[in-house]
Structure 1
């Protein structure tokens, strides 16, 4: 019998710090509030980071003008950190802040090397969140060494009001995208840990594998049975480590972006792995990741998978869809 204490065992423990990128925008404040709550539940230190870069001046030979602009930007960034620290002070967690001159994506990726979680807003005034839906949205999931959570703006909530699909039921708690691969299973562990910490139910969602046709045919009864068997196996494996967690396994023949964006309307968190064999996770580093983050109505977590230092709990998992073909192997690349 797996003990509850085994639920968090790994070959090498992750760092515990929760890092949040801030810039003073409303979305940044939402990210800060989310990160604070997670730091409290993890009993972890909260690190506030903001970055600023110097604009290109027409005549950089004017040293005094350059210094003046640099000083103002640095002061604005420092004020942003001070205000954020004041906002979260006295909340039962250690809080530290840092102002970094340079590229926002590089600062975040560097911070992720010593963090257990990285939290950012989906848009903002500039620096971190202003660029998040551009190049940074691809850089963070592909290069950050810890899970990345993207918090949408408050104005996005409740947009999916008129659903036409029968399987567009409201998902509460935590939703994890599953595709049968080890990276997706590793992400499901993070999803289960998050759900366990917050006392929430966990839903495992499996989308159909990618198809070439623009109008995919409905899944056959045989395909449905195979997919359901695989996702039920994943649910049973997670249940051994989280026996008190309410886990539901569902499949859909619809497209991953639509399914996950709709799920994020009511879910507390949507979780994806950063690679896999199809359906959800193998597409995260491409256009699907940008689309999910862009259209998400709630927080989305993208979890990296370190094949060289895998989670110890993966060792007793049975692959529900073993596939050693070259095509399957190629789908696991970034």
Structure 2
């Protein structure tokens, strides 16, 4: 039923649940799993929060910090997949710009059958006005979309 599953990941509990669900489905349908993380200041701060001297409220992350946090996030997603019992390869991708658009574009590029997202992640204040990543993916994806809590 599903051959390629993409997962949007921001490090939140709902995105961990999305990875677990994607891995469960991938095991059932022998699918490939692709995890997509699009870094934003909120997720960089979340990833870098444990680093001494990083002042979330006063400092915008540098390109180096953004790249480092993306690697941390993707490593966390792969660990979550392994802890869920997934034994296959997990492909990872770092997106740019709007998370929903980036996820959809990547899913299209790998001919994904399904996109899995968490219902509520670490989205920013604009998500309250413009809608969440999950809502945007649900409205604009050309494949099936599953949102998990």
TM-score, shorter chain, exceeding 0.5: yes
In 1, Cα distance between the equivalents of 2:142 and 2:61?
27
In 1, Cα distance between the equivalents of 2:69 and 2:93?
12
- Higher RCO, Cα 8 Å, sep 6+: 2
In 1, Cα distance between the equivalents of 2:119 and 2:64?
29
Give me the TM-score of the superposition, normalised by structure 1. 0.34
In 2, Cα distance between the equivalents of 1:238 and 1:288?
21
Summarize the Cα distance change of 1:287–1:178 in structure 2 as closer, same or farther, 3 Å threshold: closer
Aligned match of 1:294 = 139
How far apart are residue 174 of structure 1 and its match?
A: 0.8
Matched, 1:236 2:67: no
Aligned match of 1:204 = 35
Alpha-carbon RMSD across the aligned residues, in angstroms, is 2.9
Q: 1:259 aligns with which of 80, 86, 102?
A: 102
Structure 1, gaps ≥5 residues long: 1-36, 39-171, 212-216, 305-334
Summarize the Cα distance change of 1:210–1:269 in structure 2 as closer, same or farther, 3 Å threshold: farther
Mapped contact 1:263–1:270 kept (Cα < 8 A): no
Give me the TM-score of the superposition, normalised by structure 2. 0.71
Summarize the Cα distance change of 1:230–1:298 in structure 2 as closer, same or farther, 3 Å threshold: same
- Count the aligned residue pairs: 127
In 2, Cα distance between the equivalents of 1:231 and 1:292?
20
In 1, Cα distance between the equivalents of 2:138 and 2:86?
31
- SS for the counterpart of 2:120 is coil
1:163-174 matches, cutoff 5 A = 173-174=4-5
Q: Over alpha carbons, which structure has the higher Rg?
A: 1
Q: 1:223 aligns with which of 59, 66, 87?
A: 66
